[in-house]
Amino acid sequence: MAKADKGYFYIDQTCIGCGACEHACPGKVDAIARVEDDFLGRFVVDEQDCINCGVCIPLCPVLCIHDARADGLLEGSGGYRAIAELQAWAAAR
Ligand code: SF4
Ligand code: SF4
């Protein structure tokens, strides 16, 4: 699969930190990591590494992994900003 400029997948704040997605993400890609110092142990997708394979989505028990393209977040100019804001929110926890 060709690498997109950026990944479109993101994890929202309802992540329960189970880690299933991290194991699903292809080994050499390794785009999912636990947010450091997050007291809930949540995970985040690094949009620079994600290859948009979608393998992680069906493994999430709380359905908190999303494809920004399907969510319409890329319409207009707010798509990547929305993802970046979510990741900044997670990183700041
Ligand atoms: S879509 Fe694929 S590459 Fe991106 S975070 Fe999920 S499993 Fe990893
Ligand atoms: S599978 Fe879902 S709930 Fe579990 S760590 Fe990943 S995003 Fe969070």
Q: Does any domain span residue 2?
A: no
Q: From residue 90, how far is each of 12, 44, 47, 49 by CA, in Å?
A: 8, 7, 13, 17
What phi and psi values does residue 67 have, to the nearest 5 degrees? -100, 115
Q: Which residue has the higher pLDDT, 93 or 37?
A: 37
Closest residue (by CA) to atom 3 of ligand 1? Answer: 50
Testing ligand 1's pocket by substitution, the residue of 12, 52, 64 carrying the most ligand atoms inside 8 A of its CB is: 52
Of the candidates 83, 92, 73, 93, the one whose C-alpha atom is nearest the C-alpha of residue 12 is 83
CA-derived radius of gyration, the chain: 12
Quote the domain boundaries for residue 69: 9-91
Q: Please say if the pLDDT value at position 24 is more than 90.
A: yes
CATH code at position 32: 3.30.70.20
Q: Report the number of distinct structural domains present in the chain.
A: 1
What is the average per-residue pLDDT within 27-54? 92
78 — pLDDT class (breaks 50, 70, 90): very low
Testing ligand 2's pocket by substitution, the residue of 30, 38, 65, 86 carrying the most ligand atoms inside 8 A of its CB is: 65
Give CA–CA dist 69/79, Å, rounded: 8
Q: Please say if the pLDDT value at position 80 is more than 60.
A: no
- Cβ–ligand 2 distance for 34 under 6 Å, the answer no
